[in-house]
Structure 1
């Protein structure tokens, strides 16, 4: 049952228990009813048995006297209802029997291993003359000088079986209807009983996607503590991130100020080789500090509950800006963006990553830069969509070795182009912090293609 939902597991568990309980209850009720039917049948047999014993014990009874038990079935040949009186104190004793027995004889329960009960009778099931199953009772009677007798009465046991079978049919139908009602009730209880948990799950998904900031609404008293603690955890997370941002800002100020002093002092002694070396290394330190502080800032921000950024408006604003920056080169920048594309992150980070890629493409393009935004559906259940931002230029492009080189921080292929060599490295780092990636390859229009993959919504 791995991977199944809580509602499914609860329903299957409740169904299994319900089936077991109904089966046990049905078996017990069927057994009780069978015993009750059997006892009622035995009382009937015992009534006929006592009547026969009373007739046998009557003194001066004529030999041809026909016992009357008030049951017509004893007169109907092979009807399944029989009585028999066998004298046992003499060899080949006289046998008297009901007309229904015809010329057959009833078996002796004593010969079949049945023991006398406390009431002095034997009771059990035997095979009848016509293959019927009979319920039979017999009792030895000692009349002293009048002789000893074995009095037997048997009835067709199909009455017991038919009655029990009929009860089982009704019981099965009743329990089936009851089981269906109980299962529907269980489904109702599971569905509506777990509804607050589903609401919390959907609310947390909204928070994670940036559509909400807290769990809102009223919850049952059993679920309210969970919602309250979740909101407290979100608040605590925000406070931690805000403190981290404050510390990053303080560190940036504390480090940049001494570096600025060192750069200024070294700049006044440019002719001194030592000052020139200090100035060179100070610039490297400044770039390194800026780079790592930016990574720390982004790392702190992406740990907080995500925000959502509309991609098309952000890239349209970026396109207009880049056209103005590179206006003197008449670069044409085309944008094709899926209107539904959304980035699971902050707008300034999207602008920084896309801006580096578009700016780099504009620097190397001959006349054209193309920006395309696509949304890829989730690859598996539970995963979110993926956002693809593809930037192509019609420049000279890069070889595989050059593409590997420019991905490293601070590496530049042409010093004549402005920049620090940190652009693609920053894009790679930011994309990685968001769970995305940057890949470089040849563009269909002849230059370089940079494809940025990011989490979407």
Structure 2
């Protein structure tokens, strides 16, 4: 059962939310800045159009004198030389060259806007930007006026566009400051939501880890209504797993009982006629069947036990108990059994499985040792292929050892290199199978003293 990595999920959510906040605020800022600039231009254009209409009215008013006299537009900047505010009325039909301009233009001329025949607005004017006499950028509004026989005129009013740019720039500064403060607030809010909103998921993750490590049997505690169904379903899955394992154990026990009795009867009957070649053959095959049944039933029991979630075994008591037992069994040989154990070492699995694996290795070492057996238990460095910490049990003896071919052979079920030694030949095979079911391994190599080294790796806590 995988454990949810809450911190990675929180990090992804935070980065995703932050990226969206930045993108949305940036786009919003661009849109608002553009809207404000257009609003400023429209307000500026209304001002220019007011002056323009006044000038057009002057141009269109018949005068008895050949020289038109233009009244003041009510703006002092039109009288201030090169102030950036200008007006100009120029005759464009070429018959009577005529140009009137504000005093602010001095002796300069306003450049016309580049235009086409169909670029007039609905009000009959053109709008745009031009370079002014003193290098200013001017916002210009111009309108062609056709007075028929009195001539054609182009009326222009220009204002310093710096006013538009400065207002827009000021708005952008305030907008940027506001959005920075808003971004910080949103990021802090997102951090708060991710940290505390995902806290129940982190609690479930920790609770599942406790179940897997054996510190708890079920998920306990109060969870929000959105997470409570997940906790209930997880507990139901754990309970169902235990029930399946218990049923499997019961079935295995029933099968073992059902098979052992008929096999015992067959063996007993065949043993009573051991002189008969047929009886000898039946006895031989029955022994093989009994070994096969014992092997596969043992594997079934092991598979059922391995399926249990959250079982932990303390290593030190098991090793000490096995050492004392082997010293009693081999007391007559004077074997020295040395132990070295890492403090707090624990096996992620059932005690009886650990006893069976390590007991087989120690028993095999004691059978072949000349006088010394050493047991070393440590926490092994995790390899690239291993997803959890591993426990390493190394059993060395000072016996004759095995060649590489013999090491491979003894790991196969029922293989015995010396018939004079007691046993069925299933010991190392069972250890190898059981270790594999737990996700571990068994390796046989040469011990530093020349004997056999058995290196057992198992999941640890």
The Cα shift of 1:109 comes to: 4.0
Out of 80-89 and 179-188, give the one that drifted further.
80-89
The Cα shift of 1:454 comes to: 1.1
Cα deviation 1:384-405 (Å, max 9, x = unaligned): 1111111111112222232223
Taking a change above 3 Å as real, the CA distance of residues 124 and 273 of structure 1, as seen in their structure-2 partners, is closer
Out of 276-285 and 50-59, give the one that drifted further.
50-59
Distance (whole Å) between structure 1 residues aligned to residue 162 and residue 119 of structure 2: 24
Question: Are 1:39 and 2:42 matched, yes or no?
Answer: yes
Q: Which residue pairs with 2:381 in the alignment?
A: 377
Question: Are 1:397 and 2:401 matched, yes or no?
Answer: yes
Question: Are 1:194 and 2:198 matched, yes or no?
Answer: yes
Taking a change above 3 Å as real, the CA distance of residues 145 and 114 of structure 1, as seen in their structure-2 partners, is closer
Question: Are 1:105 and 2:109 matched, yes or no?
Answer: yes
Question: Are 1:83 and 2:87 matched, yes or no?
Answer: yes
Distance (whole Å) between structure 1 residues aligned to residue 183 and residue 202 of structure 2: 27
SS state at 1:417 partner: coil
Taking a change above 3 Å as real, the CA distance of residues 416 and 91 of structure 1, as seen in their structure-2 partners, is same
Distance (whole Å) between structure 1 residues aligned to residue 385 and residue 369 of structure 2: 40
Q: Which residue pairs with 1:430 in the alignment?
A: 434
Distance (whole Å) between structure 2 residues aligned to residue 202 and residue 382 of structure 1: 21
The Cα shift of 1:108 comes to: 3.5
Taking a change above 3 Å as real, the CA distance of residues 110 and 358 of structure 1, as seen in their structure-2 partners, is closer
Distance (whole Å) between structure 2 residues aligned to residue 122 and residue 310 of structure 1: 91
Q: TM-score, normalised by structure 2?
A: 0.90
Alignment of 1:120-269 (within 5 A): 120-141=124-145, 149-269=153-273
SS state at 1:136 partner: strand
Question: Are 1:26 and 2:23 matched, yes or no?
Answer: no
| Contact 2:366–2:397 under 8 Å retained in 1 | yes
Q: Which residue pairs with 2:15 in the alignment?
A: 12
Distance (whole Å) between structure 1 residues aligned to residue 50 and residue 292 of structure 2: 111
Q: How many residues get paired?
A: 455
The Cα shift of 1:112 comes to: 6.6
The Cα shift of 1:255 comes to: 0.7
Distance (whole Å) between structure 1 residues aligned to residue 114 and residue 370 of structure 2: 116
Q: Which residue pairs with 2:286 in the alignment?
A: 282
The Cα shift of 1:284 comes to: 2.8
SS state at 1:8 partner: helix
| Contact 2:89–2:153 under 8 Å retained in 1 | yes
Out of 400-409 and 311-320, give the one that drifted further.
400-409
Taking a change above 3 Å as real, the CA distance of residues 127 and 113 of structure 1, as seen in their structure-2 partners, is farther
Q: Which residue pairs with 2:370 in the alignment?
A: 366
Distance (whole Å) between structure 2 residues aligned to residue 26 and residue 442 of structure 1: 73
Q: Which residue pairs with 2:341 in the alignment?
A: 337
Out of 300, 306, 309, which is 2:304 matched to? Answer: 300
Distance (whole Å) between structure 1 residues aligned to residue 125 and residue 243 of structure 2: 90
Cα deviation 1:212-249 (Å, max 9, x = unaligned): 22121122222222221121122112111111111111
SS state at 1:391 partner: strand
Distance (whole Å) between structure 1 residues aligned to residue 377 and residue 143 of structure 2: 100
Distance (whole Å) between structure 1 residues aligned to residue 115 and residue 350 of structure 2: 97
Gaps of 5+ in 1: none
Q: Which residue pairs with 1:413 in the alignment?
A: 417
Distance (whole Å) between structure 2 residues aligned to residue 451 and residue 327 of structure 1: 25
Taking a change above 3 Å as real, the CA distance of residues 90 and 383 of structure 1, as seen in their structure-2 partners, is closer
Q: TM-score, normalised by structure 1?
A: 0.91
SS state at 1:220 partner: coil
SS state at 1:85 partner: strand
SS state at 1:184 partner: helix
Out of 297-306 and 129-138, give the one that drifted further.
129-138
Out of 87-96 and 381-390, give the one that drifted further.
87-96
SS state at 2:339 partner: strand
Out of 270-279 and 18-27, give the one that drifted further.
270-279
| Contact 2:312–2:348 under 8 Å retained in 1 | yes
Alignment of 1:60-71 (within 5 A): 67-71=71-75
Cα deviation 1:53-80 (Å, max 9, x = unaligned): 4555385689595743333322222221
Taking a change above 3 Å as real, the CA distance of residues 130 and 236 of structure 1, as seen in their structure-2 partners, is same
SS state at 1:388 partner: strand
Taking a change above 3 Å as real, the CA distance of residues 430 and 69 of structure 1, as seen in their structure-2 partners, is same
Out of 159-168 and 411-420, give the one that drifted further.
411-420
Q: Which residue pairs with 2:359 in the alignment?
A: 355
